[in-house]
């Protein structure tokens, strides 16, 4: 079974075709989120922003994790290495723990941070041969099987209520044409449970300028579930089911470090001769405890028609559509000896080719979700079916516009990229001009 996400809907001159996903998102009545709430009163917080860089080269570190020590509050850096972290004032005497794969973990006192323009540098963690266990397993496939088998004891065994920030963007070539963001509550079931996670919307906003899409109106269907199902330890059946493991060749690559732990890097790819589009990528497995700490992988697009069939349900007869890249990322975090889903992203690039046009169009979408806070809850702590995000509504159609600069309040978000901020400003200016002209 392939991981068929994300889902896209394109309306082309009154025709439409649907790129099929596992599930989609709806917007229903919000629930009061738990993050930073005490007895119904809002807790004061400080906001810190800055950039995480490599100490020697000064390059930005993308998707570095920042966690307030001793709490479940965290965020990540964006694709430009920038971060925005909101910390309740009661925690300002703690440290921020900054970690990134292949680098030494660093603790920074929150009291030493400025409100803006902080620069945090991480040093490369050199793996010495003496650190590698001479008794390390020689069979990469056996190690992957052992990691999957140990899931129940290494990952969260209690239900959890997680606050998450979700963002999706759609571009025509390099231009942002649709931006949508949401804070959601994720009801995460134990990793040993076969019951799916549930998602509930707290608040959302969007900005869309379909004039940049020319004759194509593209919308993403799937919302936060698109990213949630990339959690391969919770949903191994979509990538590494027992039956599909034999379709892959697993090999040991380099070793690296994260959070001062030695990590095996295992490469995988489907065997030649297997016609079904499967995946290739890297798994990052903790040496000592046989725990998957993260993965980066992509769909093999060796046959564009078969790859398109994974996503396209219907389309106009004169239009050919196929993906040119589909890639995924998932990262896990540790707390008190147990691991949990922390961040995931999906990127998809595809082409739309008109039979009567000389040139084709290129589109891309990105969906990402980061857990910014969580707490353990009882098994009965789960929204009713009607309160859960359904599997058919499109976030960009339902969310309100980008208008209030303080919209998110105390909730941690992923810092917007400069291109996204610029697109929002341009769309807002265009909307204001349209409103003045209508008056």
The string of DSSP codes covering 329-360 is EEEEEEETTEEEEEEEEEEEEEEEEETT-SS-
The answer to whether 34 and 49 have CB atoms below 8 angstroms apart is no
Reading the block at residue 361, the tokens are 């169009």
Three-state DSSP state, 234: coil
Alpha-carbon 200 to chain mean position: 17
* Phi-psi domain of 36 (left: phi exceeds 0; alpha: psi -120 through 50; beta: other): left
pLDDT tens profile 97-152: 999 999 999 999 999 999 999 999 999 987 654 445 545 567 999 999 999 999 99
Q: From 333, 263, 264, select the one nearest 64 (Cα to Cα).
A: 333
Q: From 344, 385, 427, select the one nearest 63 (Cα to Cα).
A: 344
Greater confidence (152 vs 422) lies with: 152
The answer to whether 91 and 54 have CB atoms below 8 angstroms apart is no
pLDDT tens profile 13-32: 322 333 333 222 222 233 33
Burial, 426: exposed, middle or buried (Cβ in 10 Å; 0-12, 13-18, 19+)? middle
pLDDT of 424: 77
pLDDT tens profile 239-284: 998 889 999 999 998 888 887 788 999 999 999 988 888 999 999 9
Confidence of residue 2 (pLDDT cuts 50, 70, 90): low
pLDDT of 384: 77
Confidence of residue 434 (pLDDT cuts 50, 70, 90): low
Longest Cα separation, the chain: 76
Beta-sheet pairing, 198-208 with 400-401? parallel
Q: How far apart are CA 395 and CA 179, in angstroms?
A: 10
Question: How much is the pTM?
Answer: 0.87
Q: Which residues contact 392 (CB under 8 A, 6 or more apart)?
A: 24, 26, 221
pLDDT of 284: 96
């Amino acid at each position: 079974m392939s991981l068929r996400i994300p889902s896209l809907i394109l309306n082309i001159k009154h025709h439409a075709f649907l790129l099929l996903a596992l599930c989609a998102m709806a917007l229903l009545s919000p629930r009061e989120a738990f993050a930073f709430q005490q007895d119904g009163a809002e807790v004061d917080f400080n906001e810190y922003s800055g950039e995480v860089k490599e100490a020697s080269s000064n390059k930005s570190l993308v998707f570095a994790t920042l966690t307030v020590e001793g709490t479940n509050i965290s965020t990540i850096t964006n694709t430009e290495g920038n971060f925005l972290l909101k910390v309740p004032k009661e925690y300002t005497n703690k440290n921020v723990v900054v970690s990134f794969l292949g680098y030494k973990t660093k603790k920074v006192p929150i009291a030493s941070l400025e409100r803006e323009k902080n620069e945090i540098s991480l040093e490369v963690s050199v793996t010495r041969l003496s650190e590698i266990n001479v008794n390390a397993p020689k069979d990469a496939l056996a190690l992957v099987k052992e990691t999957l088998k140990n899931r129940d004891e290494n990952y969260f065994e209690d239900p959890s209520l997680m606050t998450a920030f979700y963002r999706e963007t759609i571009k025509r070539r390099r231009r942002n044409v649709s931006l949508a963001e949401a804070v959601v509550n994720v009801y995460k079931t134990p990793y040993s449970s076969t019951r799916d996670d549930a998602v509930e919307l707290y608040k959302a906003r969007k900005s869309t300028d379909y004039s940049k899409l020319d004759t194509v109106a593209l919308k993403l269907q799937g919302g936060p579930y698109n990213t949630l199902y990339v959690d391969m330890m919770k949903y191994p059946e979509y990538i590494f089911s027992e039956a599909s493991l034999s379709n892959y060749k697993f090999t040991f690559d380099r070793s690296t470090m994260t959070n001062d732990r030695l990590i095996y890097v295992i490469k995988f790819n489907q065997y030649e001769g297997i016609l079904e589009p499967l995946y290739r990528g890297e798994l990052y497995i903790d040496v000592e405890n046989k725990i998957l700490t993260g993965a980066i992988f992509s769909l093999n697009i060796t046959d564009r028609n078969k790859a398109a069939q994974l996503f396209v349900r219907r389309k106009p007869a004169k239009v050919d559509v196929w993906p040119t890249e589909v890639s995924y990322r998932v990262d896990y975090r540790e707390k008190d000896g147990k691991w949990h889903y922390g961040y995931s992203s999906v990127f998809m690039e595809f082409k739309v080719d008109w039979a009567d046009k000389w040139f084709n169009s290129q589109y891309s979408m990105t969906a990402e979700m980061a857990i910014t806070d969580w707490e353990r809850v009882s098994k009965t702590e789960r929204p009713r079916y009607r309160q859960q995000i359904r599997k058919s509504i499109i976030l960009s159609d339902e969310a309100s516009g980008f208008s209030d600069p303080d919209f998110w309040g105390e909730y941690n978000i992923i810092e917007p990229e400069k291109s996204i901020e610029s697109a929002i400003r341009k769309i807002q200016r265009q909307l204001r001009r349209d409103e003045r002209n209508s008056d």
